[in-house]
A and B are shown apart, each in its own frame.
Chain A
């Protein structure tokens, strides 16, 4: 009963004209940003972040969530039509989506990817509603030592995604934490690493880091390819009715329902993320299929499964961010940071102190899914025309947007210099294959991680045993160790999703 009351409260907040307009606008912007190759949900949210500074917290969060799942819907458009994934998670949509379009079934491919995303997102949102409150209640037991261990787990899981990049992941993580130490120390007032610059006393704003590393860094990387002669291919612009046949539906529904929980679980755990969820779903279905040889030739269930998992994952990833206040992916880290700018501290207390905001976001997830389905099925033919915009025009505009956005943070041009600097850092990281997600995560949680660390030590008079004071701590400790060891173990044991 309490649950339904809360949901009703949420819907009553969302169903104001302003919030609805922003939700739809966010969904459209997100879909477009997700579609454009090289601009994923993280970059999209980062670029649109300054827009939300003047909004009410609930409106801001609703807008950002809309951009987030809009990007998840949109990512597969360019996979299907161009064989170029719009973001990492849409890689799996290339395997069967592009062959489908080549076989003249682009309409069915666009339709099923939106339908699968819709069902996956919807079921995951129901799961979110059921899981969120118990998790938040449990997290009320967390003190500084538990939070510190939780952050260690979240960070190491994000850094240790692959065996090859394990150490580079940790380098990225450490540099992120270092960036977060710049500025005044909250507990003692000592100025750290400000180099005498007044502007650095309040620290480096993580929005600058995010827009620099993701937005500018991405553009720099792409400028290199434009120069070497890359460009967009011709794109199909004429479509028939974007819908599926009964036979398509019959083939897809079971894979969709089967892979949604997989995606959701992968999303809740920190680190893995939507790309892995989609690849896992694809490989699961290939193994379970009676005709695995048809996968890769344009079979509809090979597109439906990863799309459902992808969206379920993106909803699952919001759970640790909203209920614990610790994000498990780059994108949710950006959203967490945005909430902090608005003066909200996500975490267990969010559901008590700002129940209206928390439940409005949940309600908006239901409505946003519907909005995205509408945008992506009837309007798909119109929206994919964005893919025809030449990147040579697009990238300069993105650079300009990045500068305008960054200016609105502090209204100072010092941020411009930092932006260029972090753009170069992001470019270098992408060029030398250093993962960027750990850096972003660390920049956002770094300061609170250090505070928790020192508070825990103060409470225990400097005794490090406080970090192992109870079962929660030990569990988190072993999870962190396990997440680092996992890439090594899983490469020894043959797991289905390592094959692709």
Chain B
């Protein structure tokens, strides 16, 4: 199975990176200097071991015909919109950024044809959430 090979390889790499990072951590000033490192070290080594097992298991089985995955276009678009929201959120404030954010997502996922519904949902949601947080929970949004 190809997925096992991938999961195994990623685990080994991540486990090794984590272990190396652990070894570079500062030692404790009080008590046993290695105390804060012991638990993470065990985790790192175990993860590498598990990764090797899964990798070998994946290699031993004959690769089954790779399942045709769906399109990743929407996922990439969603992530880009999320990142844009992260950048804008504190600059232009909650309501404008959220209208743009949800509106953008709806246009990408639901399609431009349904623009009336999309805009309506985006505006209602943003004002609705803002109202709930400001007036009912007394939390300040930017």
Decide if A393 touches B101 in the complex (CB within 8 Å). no
In the complex with contacts A174-B46, A224-B75, A395-B109, A450-B39 CB distance below 8 A? yes
Q: Which residues in window 1-56 of B have CB below 8 A to A?
A: 3-4, 6-7, 11, 14-15, 18, 21, 25-32, 35-36, 38-40, 43-44, 46-47, 50-51, 53-54
Give the docked Cα–Cα distance between A396 and B74 (Å): 11
Q: B139 — which chain A residues lie within 8 A by C-beta? A: 54, 408
Contact residues on B (Cβ < 8 Å of other chain), bracket? 35 or more
Looking at the assembled complex, report how far the CB atom of B10 sits from the nearest CB atom of chain A, in whole angstroms.
8
In the complex with contacts A167-B50, A170-B50, A178-B18 CB distance below 8 A? yes
Looking at the assembled complex, report how far the CB atom of A391 sits from the nearest CB atom of chain B, in whole angstroms.
9
Q: Is A248 interfacial (CB-CB < 8 Å)?
A: no
Total A-B residue contacts, Cβ distance less than 8 Å: 152
| Nearest-CB residue, chain A, relative to B106 | A396
Decide if A413 touches B90 in the complex (CB within 8 Å). yes
Q: Which of A167, A174, A192, A226 contacts B109 (CB 8 A)?
A: A226
Q: Which of B25, B54, B90, B125 contacts A171 (CB 8 A)?
A: B54
Q: B110 — which chain A residues lie within 8 A by C-beta? A: 390, 392-393, 396
How would residues 414 to 437 of chain A score, 1 for a CB under 8 Å from any chain B CB and 0 otherwise?
001101100110010001111000
Q: Is A228 interfacial (CB-CB < 8 Å)?
A: yes
Q: A185 — which chain B residues lie within 8 A by C-beta? A: 28, 36
Q: Which of B18, B70, B83, B117 contacts A225 (CB 8 A)?
A: B70
Decide if B82 touches A399 in the complex (CB within 8 Å). yes
Decide if B109 touches A392 in the complex (CB within 8 Å). yes
In the complex with contacts A171-B11, A228-B70, A416-B86, A399-B28 CB distance below 8 A? no
Decide if B85 touches A397 in the complex (CB within 8 Å). no
Give the docked Cα–Cα distance between A201 and B88 (Å): 25
Q: Is A404 interfacial (CB-CB < 8 Å)?
A: yes
Decide if A397 touches B111 in the complex (CB within 8 Å). no
Q: Is B59 interfacial (CB-CB < 8 Å)?
A: no
Give the docked Cα–Cα distance between A417 and B85 (Å): 10
Decide if B53 touches A167 in the complex (CB within 8 Å). yes
Q: Which residues in window 165-211 of A have CB below 8 A to B?
A: 167-168, 170-171, 174-175, 177-178, 181, 185, 187-193
Name A's interface SS.
helix
Decide if B39 touches A174 in the complex (CB within 8 Å). no
Give the docked Cα–Cα distance between A371 and B54 (Å): 46
Q: B125 — which chain A residues lie within 8 A by C-beta? A: 397, 400
Decide if B78 touches A228 in the complex (CB within 8 Å). no
Q: A431 — which chain B residues lie within 8 A by C-beta? A: 3, 69
Give the docked Cα–Cα distance between A51 and B101 (Å): 21
Residue in A181, A219, A458 with the greatest tally of chain B CB atoms within 10 Å:
A181
Decide if A192 touches B57 in the complex (CB within 8 Å). no
In the complex with contacts A223-B75, A454-B35, A171-B85 CB distance below 8 A? no
Decide if B72 touches A224 in the complex (CB within 8 Å). yes
Q: Is A227 interfacial (CB-CB < 8 Å)?
A: yes
Q: B65 — which chain A residues lie within 8 A by C-beta? A: none
Q: Is B64 interfacial (CB-CB < 8 Å)?
A: no
Give the docked Cα–Cα distance between A392 and B36 (Å): 47
Q: A432 — which chain B residues lie within 8 A by C-beta? A: 3, 6-7
Q: A178 — which chain B residues lie within 8 A by C-beta? A: 18, 40, 43-44, 47
Q: B138 — which chain A residues lie within 8 A by C-beta? A: 54
Q: Which residues in window 76-116 of B have CB below 8 A to A?
A: 78-79, 82-83, 85-86, 89-90, 98, 101-102, 105-106, 108-111
Decide if B89 touches A396 in the complex (CB within 8 Å). no
Decide if A174 touches B105 in the complex (CB within 8 Å). no
Decide if A424 touches B79 in the complex (CB within 8 Å). yes
Decide if A224 touches B129 in the complex (CB within 8 Å). no
- A→B interface (CB under 8 Å): 51, 53-54, 167-168, 170-171, 174-175, 177-178, 181, 185, 187-193, 219-220, 223-228, 390, 392-393, 395-397, 399-400, 403-404, 407-408, 411, 413, 416-417, 419-420, 423-424, 427, 431-434, 450, 453-454, 458, 462
Q: Which 3 A-B pairs have the closest CB atoms?
A: A224-B70, A396-B105, A228-B70
With A170-B46, A396-B106 known, 14 other A-B pairs at CB within 8 A are A174-B47, A181-B39, A181-B40, A185-B28, A189-B28, A192-B25, A193-B21, A193-B25, A395-B109, A399-B82, A404-B129, A408-B139, A420-B79, A420-B83
**Pairs across A and B, CB under 8 Å, 7 listed:** A168-B7, A170-B50, A171-B51, A225-B70, A393-B121, A408-B139, A453-B39
